[in-house]
Amino acid sequence: MTVQTQIQQALSSAQSVEASLTQFSLETENQQAKQLFQNLAQQQKTIVQQLETRYNQVLQEEPQFQQNQDPNQKQ
């Protein structure tokens, strides 16, 4: 498994976690829990952005991986 593939998988997982946390914050009635989920979703968004940055760095370092890859595309 290449570094690119590993980062893509990590990115997909991180995006899924972010979406789940956002959904939890929308569905809960408890204001404390809602705030917790919103904060966690924001932290996860930062992680997603960092993974996207690293993914783009890998593409720049390894041009052979640039076969029309989209970091937001799910496998």
**Residue tagged 């290449």 (tokens):** 2
pLDDT given at position 7? 94
Helix (H) or strand (E) holding 58: helix 31-61
Instruction: Record the pTM.
Output: 0.79
The residue extents of the domains of the chain are 3-61
For 18-48, write each residue's pLDDT tens digit. 999 999 999 999 999 999 999 999 999 999 9
- What is the distance of C-alpha 3 from the center of its chain? 16
Q: Which residue has the higher pLDDT, 66 or 60?
A: 60
